[in-house]
Amino acid sequence: MRTLLLTVAALACFAGNSLLARLALRGGELDGGSFTAVRIVSGALTLAALVAFRRGGLRAIANGGSARAAFALFAYAILFSLAYLTLSAGTGALILFAAVQITMLSAGVARGHRPGGAEWCGLALAFGGLVYLVSPGLSAPPVVGAALMAAAGAAWGFYTMAAKGAGSPLEATAGNFARATPMALAGCLAMWAGGGAHMSFAGAGLAVASGALTSGLGYAIWYTALETLPVSRAAIVQLTVPLIAAVAGVALLGEAMSWRLAVAAATILGGVGLALTGKARN
């Protein structure tokens, strides 16, 4: 029950990230680099405060996480922000988590896992749905935005896999956010130096909410759930996030639910679910 509650809370945070990012970026409240920087910094400060309160000091942050995980976190965050400049909440989440599953399955193959027939069929089905979603057409998402979000999904897949054996979930997440902060600030400064940056109070508030709540706390909750949640099951449950984000985007942001999105969602989620179910059986 504890793992279930933690997982549900983490998935809600993941979907909330898509909604907050889309709400901030679609109206031009701030640019992608600024959103990423405020998100990472606010998450790092929130986690540092929690670690200091629980442990009585900040030394644990230096030992938590890793440089590799921090880079994956930053890569995911900046690509995620840039992609949502053009994608809707539901479409972005769908591409993101389809790429996450493909990344995690591919990593399993590279480590020696040999997929069975169900896995290959599921992967083919998921890939076909993703191709259909981004193929040229009236309601297809922008190609650049889709490619950026797919790369963000790959980075998130690596970040999720880095959670295994990472030690204390809170300290590991705090360490990763602290290490990612200089990268995010450098990217933001480069954006401001190039003259393409801007930020409103509303946009900054949305980025802080994304960083402190749905990112910082959400990722710490996710790392805690992964202590008892196998990687294969972790991949499966993340398949619900695109549907949560799509429904919330339609209900809260007034976004349209197109037939292309509905068909692609069913195809991609069904295919990846089939692949992961086959892996679990093996």
180 Rama class: left (phi>0) / alpha (psi -120 to 50) / beta? alpha
Over residues 83-140, the pLDDT tens digits come to: 988 887 778 888 888 888 788 878 777 777 666 777 778 778 877 887 777 666 556 7
State the Cα–Cα distance between residues 7 and 237, nearest whole angstrom: 8
| Contact predicate 10/228, CB 8 Å | no
Q: Among candidates 214, 157, 173, 196, which has minimal Cα distance to 20? A: 214
| Contact predicate 251/116, CB 8 Å | no
Give the predicted TM-score (pTM) of the model.
0.81
Q: State residue 278's pLDDT score.
A: 66
Q: State residue 45's pLDDT score.
A: 92
Contacts (Cβ under 8 Å, ≥6 apart) of 157 = 99, 100, 101, 102, 103, 104, 107
Q: State residue 185's pLDDT score.
A: 94
| Contact predicate 217/13, CB 8 Å | yes
* Tokens at 242, concatenated: 């695109």
Q: State residue 57's pLDDT score.
A: 60
**Residues in the chain with pLDDT < 70?**
55-58, 113-115, 134-139, 164-167, 231-232, 276, 278-282
DSSP conformation class of 132: H
Q: State residue 98's pLDDT score.
A: 83
State the Cα–Cα distance between residues 44 and 175, nearest whole angstrom: 8
